[in-house]
Structure 1
């Protein structure tokens, strides 16, 4: 045993030496290229890119030539190499925990009391007992299961192997005993009522092999569990502290167990999973089948005729292995489907439920084939204590890349993409017929008749895409874009439904950075009705004879302009016109921040050229007197004049999961809770409705169901005494590796916006402040909590990352937002983002809260930039002190900032049910 550990240690040291040598070579090569004349530099970078591509392909070929045992050893060494190479990410995780322990451990006096109150939630009162609360949870459970039912996706079903003819099932693998109901962190929810997989099978009258169950349950390394008892903060810390040497092994299955199972039934099922948790991104190897799991799949596939693979993961996995074995007849995606998702799965297997979900991401054979994956990870400046990410993929996220860059190359596409965005099968068939169309410069309006031509009842989704005319070298455009969608009711065999589908024609406009406006360029716009993004049922042509330029926002008439160019930190962005020359690479990054970037990050401008507002006046007004008044009603000024600087300072600083009361002005305390899959408190568990995670909500492709979820959450809020909801989460699945992909909806901004707006409107209609989050570009967890500088271009930001938030503001009528950890264009709490885009351009009226506060997030910058509340758990006294110090130097700017923050916050409070 000692010899074994010696060998392992030596191997790790050998790999560490390789990591250091390779790092030194890369640094030396960068210095060589930097020293070249600019004319030669680009060619050298391009040549290096091609060389790395060839080397990567060569390594793949070498792996194929090895025996399975040799391949296993090589893969393990590669895994260790990658983990050692990316070790700074682990250190970042440790530093957050260390800081947490240090602050709590050494702080004294009132400060420690404040920290402990925030962490324990002692100051927050939630009433989860009583008839009203029970009734609200019952309604939540019903909606939760309905979402799981409609969110489940059937990806493969050869020979109509599902539903099962023989209602007996062999369940293989340890993952069946640790079903993933949701993700970890603030997106986690109460799983105390979760139904385990085997009980769900029984509920659906499917017999499972008890002997095989007993075999797995008896293994010492396996412990059957249902749900997850950890709080969000514990899940996050576990994720950050996972060991570099940990290997997730799959227990072997004996020949005797296989033989017994074969006698029991020809049906077999294997679950495959991934770990998703806030504060930790997912490793590449975690999205691929491990060698142990591959061995299990091989054994099962070779012994059974009807094998079902169940994808129980919130991240996109590599599923190419299912094509290695003809006996893998079906693939069912359940995502992370909440406490009753197992029931939905069992009902689909039995045939009681007909699947109607559609996937919200592109499934590819190689998850590293997307351009965004080239700039995902740990990137640190050498001369600035900040991490950065270059969004060099531009608008070509997810299907936009694959559909554009493989256009006209069907063979290449099929070798790359396994399941296109929007894919999903049914147990029945449907015919579509466009019965009317009205296509003009104002709107695209269609009526589509959907008829069930099969033998069982089912729901269908009509997906509407568009392809805009493209000029090589002009404005970047994806070959195809989602425009909208609609879902039918449950149609009986032979039954039809006519869906009315429409969207604004200007939604097809592209942002023109050169002229700072949106434009519909003249030409032919193809309106496509698709089963998925790649399988188009029919196409309608809309001819636009002349350009249409939009210079102002349609709702507010605010003039468009480029808002995120202050730092001048330009990057090379992927172009449809020059794939080879612009394809992203992290090898040619400049890790030296320019003086302008450093100045922008470290500096903050206070506007002292404002009039000092009145404070502490006695106007005899209470907050309730303003209920129902417009945001800009003159009476607001009289009310705000009554606030003192001290009161405002206290209010905005102490706003983690609640806001404080100011009794003399009738300002009540409010309770603000996470999370996107049902109410949760990061530090303390309480009973509440639990829903599928947002990726499953989106996979329903059902706006009405999203609205119903928000509405029922609003009813729960009223029953529990909650006034604000930190949700929905609207960020993009930029790559499959995002640690919070389960918590976000999809790779597409329109799908996110439609589902997010539905959820938001449902809750807002019940008098809840909805804090849409994380505004914006919070697509990776690595380094997020130390404040990452995000570099992108204006078109990408507007068309991809801002779009779902804009839709939620305008269609969901939200009164709250949560800013992200990200430094946008060199600024955390960027005023152009929070005031320029959100408030001026989109017309948002309401409150912006920070995300959980870390050291780089300071209240003086926040309140003078449009961020109103500090979600601060650990450093409230420090925030107050910073505001007091800033007030001494910039009294007018700070007072106006605090006053604006109070106006925004209290306006949102008056929109809640608190004064009903």
Structure 2
């Protein structure tokens, strides 16, 4: 019966985001109530049948009274369910506040978003075409994306952009007429953007074929204006990475990885498709989604053959191959405009007409051939091929398991993005210009700048200097001082990139001839390398090696404006006392289980091992070793046993005490205040289980400690609460924000976004997201800032601090090493050296945590595994590094708790993950071990949750927020009263009517 109902209701609840496994768990939990309702229904049917034998008048009374009795039983049962086993789920939905944003708040958001567009749009190419001459007042805008541009991404980073300023509106607002014939051509062709969702992906690029541009249309266009704009768009989204072989998508054979095993039935690309635009394949074999389609190539060729002045707008969140823009001399300018949110595209018209001088810089390296990148053979679908029995074992224990056990080898080590290309060029391994089109940190301006270093000083533990930025051109503009360091490198020694971003600042608007002095003080420990292999530090640690260090201010990662050198006379080992920013010295926490057995790219002998490290994978790499299998089974649902980690010396804490405290009494109290223990003593085991397990876009109310229910919501692009249907202003993708290179602007973004959360009385924010753009094909790159952790870290820290001013606790995510979507929930074993983990993938989180100045912190762990330990249950990551080394005080939540065969509540809380982003519906959520060790772990998790909540906006007032009727209470009282009145009223009316008829009949007789 339960399975039948699950099959019937699955599509309905699936559209609401409820997985089939969750629905099955709910129905199993409620099967007693379901059987009761079914039994009542059977009784009703029997009574209705038997009533046919009663007298004619009395027959109707029996039937009506039976129906009313059934509805009364149904109403009571619904109340029992909603205030019983489903209370936490229902209350989380009903008690969430619907957003009611003030006009002032919305106006503030729109203004800040517009500023992001103005400072974040990057001018990639300009031969003098921009700004356009004042006598140009009309534009021919080509490309279907011009009518339906990308404002963001999909999934948790999506937002409502229905009222957003589009590209055409931006141009029109800037004073340009646009060719309506072309616009109608595109809107007639297709009105809706293809959907790239978690369940399926339509990768279609809806571009009319070249024969749509008839002679009449092109003649009219040339008469309309001598200037053309081509808009090219590329989408991405949560749940799937971008295809590396579009021809295979077209033919339904795409598998983003080597053909080493059959993909599982529900593998993320089973519903990927492409609608071809003509009688030809729109992509040749091996061409990726980040190249032009054949139809787009023909469009570009057509436009450039008809117009001498062509502007290209790249509306993409992922770095495309853009070599084609240099193949046409007619293309005089290229603008990079990722998802711009509500008003970000307003900047396009302003830049084109010159009222705004672009100051954006790239956040990733644009390479000429993505198929020649170091990572290309180590992304996508790489499943183990000898684990069928293990997969069946896991699936038998957990219905939500997604059916794969896969791996990803981070073979490039620390040489991610520009760090590889700059270093490889330095070593003579490659010719830079042959591989890189636009460097990291690159962006043009309508003016020119000169940057010099002054007052350079070695202060012992730090260096300080000023960068003087002077506008040497003819128009006002802003510029960025990008500070890099080049460390000494010993061949075969600790791996080091030759160019590393360490700091940055952006100027204000500088008039022609004006200068601004930007002052920097950089701790030398920020230049240290992590020695995970024990080359100089056994057990791992940070070290600042002796030698000369070059500090440079650059226009981009490749172009040096000025530089200075200082010398470290002897190695400085930070593995014992730690760096000044560490609470505990960093030592190896991952290497033993994260390193894997792959060959890692090394700078030694001028990258002599490149082919071995970065070449195609070998067949044996897809065979899981017995050692790895044993480690995986350790944390797989059905085999996990937390009791073997119990400590017999642990003492059972007090449960259910009556100490008279409420959570409000701990507002502002230090984390180590003694009153926390007294408050925690008041919790029962069931209280703790509920507080930990029910974290799906909420935290629950706990009466024993006077904790109020709270709501959390997505997302990185602004307030997005699908539970209440509340959506705030659509903020831009993190990529556009990062392209501003403006810390202060990021802070103001946090303040403005935080105000929207405060207006909605929702202080838990699932964001910002700050994983690394390891590859151009990662589906959620729109949701992450950059390929560089320093840039991402400082921007995230400022955004989080701005939001914290409004009482918002930001769940910085996804912690950690979660840089691809393929197989993300399918036992994805991510292998990387500890040096790479710390220097690249943890770096933005470290900067953000250490730079936090608010009262309440939160973090979201990730779906993937680090080596052979799930991130959500990794004590080395969550306790030793996050809390121990960095000093984090707050709560950690999982990513969505579908269990997936390994997200086990008992394992998570023992490891430092406090809250499960779900509804306690899976068997893996049950706490069956009530030992002292397990109970103490649960108690610690509850403390972390409550510490975060009480220091947030939920407790910002001077009075305890506990008390009064909740939204759920009010709704049920109203429904129960109305329903009861209707049921009783009908029952009484039927009975009275029967008695009156009977009396009338008797009087007649």
User: Given the two structures, how large is their TM-score scaled by the length of structure 1?
Assistant: 0.84
The residue number in structure 1 matching 2:907 is 861
How far apart in 2 are the matches of 1:290 and 1:305? 23
**What's the offset of the Cα at 1:374?**
1.7
Q: Deviations over 1:199-233 (max 9, x none)?
A: 2211111121223323333x3x32278xx9xxxxx
- Per the alignment, residue 549 of structure 1 pairs with 573
| Corresponding residue SS for 2:221 | helix
Which residue, 560, 564, 573 being the options, matches 1:536?
Answer: 560
Q: Is the 8 A contact 2:548 2:567 kept in 1?
A: yes
SS of 2:530's partner is strand
Say whether the 8 Å CA contact 1:190–1:685 is kept in structure 2: no
* Corresponding position of 1:429: 448
For 2:579 and 2:701, locate their aligned partners in 1 and report how far apart those are by CA, in whole Å: 37
Give the 3-state SS of the residue equivalent to 1:463 in structure 2: strand
Aligned to 2:522: 503
Task: Report deviation, 1:820.
Answer: 0.2
| 1:78-116 Cα distance to aligned partner (Å, 9 max, x none) | xxxxxxxxxxxxxxxxx9999924643685276597889
Q: How does 1:23-172 map to 2 (within 5 A)?
A: 100-101=19-20, 103-104=22-23, 107-108=26-27, 122-129=93-100, 133-165=102-134, 166-172=136-142
SS at match of 1:286: coil
Contact 2:311 2:332 in 1 (8 A): yes
Select which of 575, 580, 601 maps to 2:602: 575
| 1:552-631 superposed matches below 5 A | 552-567=578-593, 569-578=596-605, 579-581=607-609, 582-588=612-618, 590-603=621-634, 606-609=645-648, 610-631=650-671
Matched, 1:242 2:201: yes
Q: C-alpha offsets along residues 126-156 of structure 1, whole Å, 9 cap, x if unaligned? A: 2422xx6332222111111111111110010
* Superposition map of 1:476-491 within 5 A: 476-491=495-510
Rounded to whole Å, the distance in 1 between the matches of 2:822 and 2:868 is 18
1:708 Cα deviation from its structure 2 partner:
0.7
Instruction: Please tell me whether the aligned partners of residues 440 and 542 of structure 1 are also in contact (alpha carbons under 8 angstroms).
Output: no
Matches within 5 A, 1:11-410: 100-101=19-20, 103-104=22-23, 107-108=26-27, 122-129=93-100, 133-165=102-134, 166-217=136-187, 219=188, 221-223=189-191, 238-242=197-201, 248-252=206-210, 253-284=213-244, 285-384=288-387, 385=391, 386-407=405-426, 409=428
Q: How does 1:733-744 map to 2 (within 5 A)?
A: 733-744=773-784
Q: Which deviations, in whole Å up to 9, do the C-alpha atoms of 1:706-759 show, x marking residues without a partner?
A: 111111222222211112111111100000000000000000010010101111
1:876 counterpart SS class: coil
Is contact 1:372–1:392 with CA below 8 Å preserved after alignment? yes
Q: State whether structure 2 residue 807 is matched by structure 1 residue 767.
A: yes
Tell me how far apart the structure 1 counterparts of residues 24 and 531 of structure 2 sit (CA, whole Å). 53
Q: Which runs of 4+ in 1 moved over 4 A?
A: 95-99, 109-121, 246-249, 408-411
Deviation at 1:306, TM superposition (A): 1.0
User: Among 673, 685, 695, which residue is 1:655 paired with?
Assistant: 695
For residue 196 of structure 1, report the CA deviation from its aligned partner. Answer: 2.3
Distance 2:127 2:93 in 1: 55
| Most deviating of 771-780 and 599-608 | 599-608
Q: CA deviation at 1:444?
A: 2.3
Work out whether residues 143 and 207 of structure 2, in 8 Å CA contact, stay in contact via their aligned partners in 1: no
User: Secondary structure of 2:156's partner?
Assistant: coil
1:5 counterpart residue number = none
What's the CA shift for 1:457?
Answer: 1.4
Q: Does 1:850 align with 2:902?
A: no
Offset, 1:817: 0.3
Aligned-pair CA distance for 1:590: 1.7
How much does 1:121 deviate?
6.4
SS in 1 for 2:375: helix
* Pair 1:715-2:760 in alignment: no
* Structure 1 unaligned blocks of 5 or more: 1-94, 229-234
Deviations 1:333-379 (A, max 9, x none): 01111121221111111111110110100001101222122200101
- Give distance in 1, aligned partners of 2:563 and 2:309: 38
Any idea what SS the aligned residue of 1:864 has?
helix
**Structure 2 Cα separation of the partners of residues 821 and 302 of structure 1:** 49
Q: Name 2:79's counterpart in structure 1.
A: none
Aligned 8 A contact 2:130 2:354 in 1: no
1:886 matched to 2:917: no
Contact persistence 2:528–2:543 (CA under 8 A): yes
Residues 108 and 766 (structure 1 numbering): CA distance in 2 closer, same or farther, change over 3 Å? same
1:823 and 2:865 are equivalent in the alignment: yes
Contact 1:145 1:344 in 2 (8 A): yes
Q: Name the structure 2 match of 1:77.
A: none
8 Å contact 2:153–2:783 — kept in the other structure?
A: yes
- How far apart, in 2, do the equivalents of 1:149 and 1:249 lie? 28
> Could you say which residue in structure 1 is the equivalent of 2:952?
912
CA deviations over 1:444-503 (Å, ceiling 9, x no partner)? 212122122222211110101010000000000001100111100111222221111222
SS of residue paired to 2:408 = strand
The answer to whether the 8 Å contact 1:173/1:251 transfers is: no
Q: Measured at CA, do residues 266 and 801 of structure 1 come closer, stay the same or move farther in structure 2, by a change above 3 Å?
A: same
Contact 2:130–2:352 at 8 Å: present in 1 too?
A: no
1:557 Cα shift? 4.1
Match of 1:706 among 746, 752, 755: 746
SS at match of 1:445: strand
Note if contact 2:312-2:335 (Cα within 8 Å) is conserved in structure 1.
Answer: yes
Distance in 2 between residues matched to 1:877 and 1:583, nearest whole Å: 41
Distance 2:429 2:579 in 1: 39
Q: Is the 8 A contact 1:438 1:445 kept in 2?
A: yes
Tell me which of 871, 877, 880 is aligned to 2:917: 871
- Pair 1:298–1:116, CA change in 2 (3 A): farther
- Counterparts in 2 of 1:248 and 1:583: CA distance versus 1, 3 Å: farther
Distance 1:119 1:612, change over 3 A: closer
- Report the more deviating stretch, 698-707 or 117-126: 117-126
Query: In the TM superposition, what whole-angstrom CA distance separates every residue of 1:220-255 from its partner, at most 9, and x where no partner exists?
Result: x32278xx9xxxxxx66x3542369x6755333222
Deviates more, 1:587-596 or 1:851-860: 587-596
Q: Is the 8 A contact 2:25 2:921 kept in 1?
A: no
CA RMSD of aligned residues (A): 2.4
Q: Distance in 2 between matches of 1:542 and 1:628?
A: 44
Q: Secondary structure at the match of 2:186?
A: helix
Contact persistence 2:424–2:430 (CA under 8 A): no
Q: Secondary structure at the match of 1:260?
A: helix
Give the SS at the match of 1:300. Answer: helix
Question: Which secondary structure state, in structure 2, belongs to the residue aligned with residue 569 of structure 1?
Answer: coil
2:544 paired with 1:520: yes
Partner of 1:465 in structure 2?
Answer: 484
Given the superposition, is the C-alpha separation of residues 243 and 533 from structure 1 closer, same or farther in structure 2, using an over 3 Å criterion? Answer: closer
SS at match of 2:746: helix
Tell me the CA shift for residue 684 of structure 1.
5.8
TM-score by length of structure 2 reads 0.77
Q: What is the aligned counterpart of 2:838 among 798, 801, 805?
A: 798
- The structure 2 residue matched to 1:442, chosen from 457, 461, 486, is 461
1:810 counterpart residue number: 850
